[in-house]
Amino acid sequence: MSSEEAKKRIQTLSAELRQHNYNYYVLAMPTITDFDFDKKLEELISLETQFPELIDPDSPTQNVGGFITKEFQTVKHKWPMLSLGNTYNEQELLDFDQRIRKAIGDNFEYVCELKFDGLSMSLTYENGKLERAVTRGDGVQGDEVTTNVKTIRSIPKNLKEGDYPDHFEIRGEVFMHLKAFERLNDERIENGEPPYANPRNFASGTIKLQDSAEVAKRPLDSFMYFLYTDKQLFKTHWESLQAVKSWGFPVNEHSKLCSDFSQVMQFIAYWENQRFNLSYDIDGIVIKVNNYSQQQELGFTAKSPRWAIAYKYKAERVETELLSVSYQVGRTGAVTPVANLKPILLAGTTVKRATLHNANEIVRLDLHEGDSVYVEKGGEIIPKIISVNLDKRKPDAKPILYRTTCPDCNTPLERKEGEAVFYCPNDEGCPTQIVGKMQHFTGRKVMDIDGLGDETIETLYQKGFIRHISDIYDLHNKADQLKTMERFGEKSITNMLDGIEKSKQMPFDRVLFGLGIRYVGATVAKKIAAHFKTIDNLMAASFEELTAVEEIGDRIARSLIEYFQDEKHRQEIEKLKERGLQFVAEENEVVLQSEKLSGKTFIISGVFEKYSRDELTSIIEQNGGKILSSISAKLSYLVAGDNMGPAKLEKANKLNIPIISDEELMGMIV
């Protein structure tokens, strides 16, 4: 293949893969199988390997992150990121328009833009290359999050040739599409993690993650809307928007140039209803004077520009009747209350249900049977009850009391101190939890067993074929019985059994994630597997040993200890071991660089500015040292960083174990 042919094919594959990523992550509507996607990605990787000069920094193969940020550096903004004055009523908009006219006359235009409900971001480019990304912060200074922002596919890392200046700053909004938010929040709930209230919070939390590889897994998007340069390049804001769009920046298509104020009001009225048809949240409209010279003449107040204002839509609120409260059981046993409502139209959709979050929310609202309630769907995806219309409460209405037993198995519910959620503890006998755990285990992101979808799991459970995860690996002994079941043909049974057998090769971290231990998601499972190496080491680990692992806090450690203390769980793990599943992490071959730490043992604890704990582990092992899992008299050194656990420090001092810094460790291998 010639270089020109390779270039065309790379461009085609890149465009296709970007679209498939968008379909999957944003729209939650994949149009291609995982296998076919992977094949296209493999072809692209192969071509880029053959023709490295054709690699685009924005290639789907490049936006994967992988850098750990210990703390975010504070950076002062060259141009302050001021907030906009805002209003919720038309009269104040008219007053704004009159102030403008009084100051600069009637000969001017407005630009109307959607006000995105996201995270403000400032990007600095040098010679067409993204050099720095900084959050708004307090407007004067913000956090540098460049590594994380580089994983956002819509933000160009290197601009193509163009007429842009050598140095400029462009500002915009980072956000998450609604479908992506729903999908990722569902995953958090499945993992026993608290869901985010709205996409903005999820986007903000994502940008501040320390591991950019994790940021890359969460599909963020962006729109840019304001350009800053040392020397003014354009006469109007509208011209600058068209220019930055031509440079390759994502600019929202719904902005409008308005010649008079009536057009502004029409734009606001149109989007008040149409906003619900967008794939992302907006909470208002931004109105800016178009001409830059006129902007300069109007100037600024201490907090905001006089030439711009934000009109914010009121969160739509409706009143309806509370019919009942029902309860949903998740695979981790979390019991969530849901309000069943008299159907009513809200934000363009018919609402029949609203989240009540937990028992505390029912108490806060003081809900009674048959209450007339106010429901909102503002920045929240799921409608929520805001308050009760007490004037309409019936005198004999009984208060809603949170149920005390599981709606599926009638087991008394439990709530741990400091937590808002009630749980059903009967994880081995509650049908919803049993089926949910098996569906989770066989899912694409866990053991990825072909032929064992959610409906099949449900059917096999109802027919008595499977009750525990380990039973899945005994289905090959029941092939003849399976053939008697409706819709279970010989080919589908063969595919399913092949998929089950193939899953035995899945690595330890996937199996650990599949067990469904509360708060142990995919990322946490990887960290644990890499640290403890085997399930036996993990089951024997103390609270202090668990919390010594990066990103493992008290809550996760307690959950792990409780899980492994249950004899039924330990028996299930033994069965899975017998059936050939992987409970030992694959050891990466260590290439020795020296023997300077030979015969010495180490434990690493705390947070370090220059290195991650994984990096320090590799350095020690590459120089002949050995990492221990617990402090004992056999330990040579404790490598201590910030926020090290006091119990570990106390034990080390008691045993007179030398405590060294990461710098002192480096000094030992020089």
Please report whether residue 128 resides in a domain.
yes
Please report whether residue 645 resides in a domain.
yes
User: 277 with 151, same domain?
Assistant: yes
Please report whether residue 585 resides in a domain.
no
pLDDT score for 289: 96
Structural domain ending residue among the three candidates 259, 277, 312: 312
User: 24 with 79, same domain?
Assistant: no
Q: Are 11 and 48 in contact (CB under 8 A)?
A: no
Global confidence as pTM: 0.56
Run of H or E residues at 197: none
Looking at the predicted structure, is the pLDDT value of residue 28 above 70? Answer: no
Reading across the β-sheet that carries 637-640, which strands appear in turn? 626-627, 601-605, 637-640, 659-660
Structural domain ending residue among the three candidates 484, 505, 526: 505
- Look at the chain and report how many structural domains it folds into: 6
Give the domain CATH number at 607: 3.40.50.10190
Average pLDDT over residues 496-517: 94
Average pLDDT over residues 130-134: 94
Percent of the chain with pLDDT over 90: 50
The C-alpha angle 122, 298, 231, rounded to 5 degrees, equals 50
Listed in sequence order, the residues at least 6 apart from 424 whose beta carbon sits closer than 8 Å to its beta carbon are 329, 333, 335, 406, 408, 409, 411, 413, 414, 430, 433
- pLDDT tens across 210-261, in order? 777 778 888 899 999 999 998 889 999 999 999 999 999 999 999 999 999 9
Q: Is 275 left (phi over 0), alpha (psi -120 to 50) or beta?
A: alpha
Please report whether residue 66 resides in a domain.
no
435-to-183, 407, 579 alpha-carbon distances in Å = 20, 15, 20
Average pLDDT, the chain: 87
Q: What is the secondary structure of 334-403 as a DSSP string?
A: EEEEEEEEEEEEETTEEEEEEE--SHHHHHHHT-BTT-EEEEE-SS-SS-EEEEE-GGG--TTPPBP---
User: 326 with 383, same domain?
Assistant: yes
Percent of the chain with pLDDT over 70: 93
User: 301 with 333, same domain?
Assistant: no
Please report whether residue 595 resides in a domain.
no
Q: What is the largest CA-CA distance in the chain?
A: 87
Give CA–CA dist 282/278, Å, rounded: 8
pLDDT score for 632: 82
Give CA–CA dist 328/337, Å, rounded: 6
- pLDDT tens across 183-192, in order? 888 877 777 6
- pLDDT tens across 366-406, in order? 999 999 999 987 555 578 888 999 999 999 999 999 999 99
- Lowest mean pLDDT segment, chosen from 20-34, 136-150, 457-471: 20-34
Structural domain ending residue among the three candidates 578, 610, 626: 578
- pLDDT tens across 34-90, in order? 567 767 887 888 888 888 888 876 777 765 444 445 568 888 999 888 888 888 888
User: 417 with 537, same domain?
Assistant: no
Measured in degrees and rounded to the nearest 5, phi and psi for residue 134 equal -130, 135
Please report whether residue 67 resides in a domain.
no
Please report whether residue 294 resides in a domain.
yes
Binned at pLDDT 50, 70 and 90, residue 27 comes out as low
- Lowest mean pLDDT segment, chosen from 117-121, 301-305, 454-458, 465-469: 301-305
Hey, which residues does 334 pair with through a beta bridge?
A: 423
Q: What is the secondary structure of 110-177 as a DSSP string?
A: EEEEEEESSEEEEEEEETTEEEEEEE-TTSSEEEB-HHHHTT-TTS-SBPPS-S--SEEEEEEEEEE-
Assigned token pair, 137: 């912060």
Assigned token pair, 658: 């030398």
pLDDT score for 445: 82
Residue of 333, 286, 279 whose CA lies nearest to 313: 286
The C-alpha angle 36, 38, 40, rounded to 5 degrees, equals 70
Run of H or E residues at 637: strand 637-640
Task: Give 76: exposed, middle or buried? Use CB within 10 Å, 0-12, 13-18, 19+.
Answer: exposed
Q: Are 648 and 654 in contact (CB under 8 A)?
A: no
Binned at pLDDT 50, 70 and 90, residue 643 comes out as low
pLDDT score for 30: 61
Looking at the predicted structure, is the pLDDT value of residue 363 above 80? Answer: yes
User: 544 with 399, same domain?
Assistant: no
Please report whether residue 324 resides in a domain.
yes
Give CA–CA dist 659/28, Å, rounded: 50
Listed in sequence order, the residues at least 6 apart from 370 whose beta carbon sits closer than 8 Å to its beta carbon are 321, 322, 394, 397
Provide the terminal-to-terminal Cα distance of the chain, rounded to the nearest Å: 48
pLDDT score for 641: 83
User: In sequence order, what E strands does 206-333 have?
Assistant: 220-228, 256-258, 282-289, 308-312, 317-329
User: 302 with 320, same domain?
Assistant: no
User: 144 with 82, same domain?
Assistant: yes
Assigned token pair, 617: 């582990």
User: 264 with 236, same domain?
Assistant: yes
Mapping DSSP to helix (H, G, I), strand (E, B) and coil, where does residue 627 land? strand
Task: Label the pairing between strands 74-76 and 141-143.
Answer: antiparallel
Range of the domain at 32: 3-54
Residue of 443, 473, 511, 510 whose CA lies nearest to 190: 443
Run of H or E residues at 44: helix 34-50
Within its chain, how far is the Cα of 245 from the centroid? 28
pLDDT score for 68: 45
User: 305 with 319, same domain?
Assistant: no
- Lowest mean pLDDT segment, chosen from 190-199, 522-531, 557-566: 190-199
Assigned token pair, 136: 């708004």
Within its chain, how far is the Cα of 117 from the centroid? 16
User: 262 with 153, same domain?
Assistant: yes
Run of H or E residues at 80: none
Q: What is the secondary structure of 466-534 as a DSSP string?
A: -SSHHHHTTGGGGHHHHHTSTT--HHHHHHHHHHHHHGGGS-HHHHHHHTT-TT--HHHHHHHHHHH-B
pLDDT score for 63: 56
User: 519 with 619, same domain?
Assistant: no
Listed in sequence order, the residues at least 6 apart from 217 whose beta carbon sits closer than 8 Å to its beta carbon are none
Listed in sequence order, the residues at least 6 apart from 176 whose beta carbon sits closer than 8 Å to its beta carbon are 118, 184, 199, 200, 202, 203, 206, 218, 219, 220, 221, 280
Give the domain CATH number at 441: 1.10.150.20
Looking at the predicted structure, is the pLDDT value of residue 26 above 50? Answer: no
pLDDT score for 109: 96
Binned at pLDDT 50, 70 and 90, residue 589 comes out as low
Q: Are 244 and 236 in contact (CB under 8 A)?
A: no
User: 563 versus 201: which is more confidently predicted?
Assistant: 563
Average pLDDT over residues 479-503: 87
Give CA–CA dist 509/535, Å, rounded: 10
- pLDDT tens across 298-321, in order? 988 767 899 999 998 877 788 999
Note the helical H segments in 534-600: 535-540, 543-547, 554-565, 567-578
Q: Using the 8-state DSSP alphabet, how is residue 439 labeled?
A: H
pLDDT score for 3: 87
Give the domain CATH number at 357: 2.40.50.140
Just list the catalytic residues.
115
User: Would you tell me the crossing angle of helices 261-274 and 90-104 to the nearest 10 degrees?
Assistant: 150
Give the domain CATH number at 41: 1.10.287.610
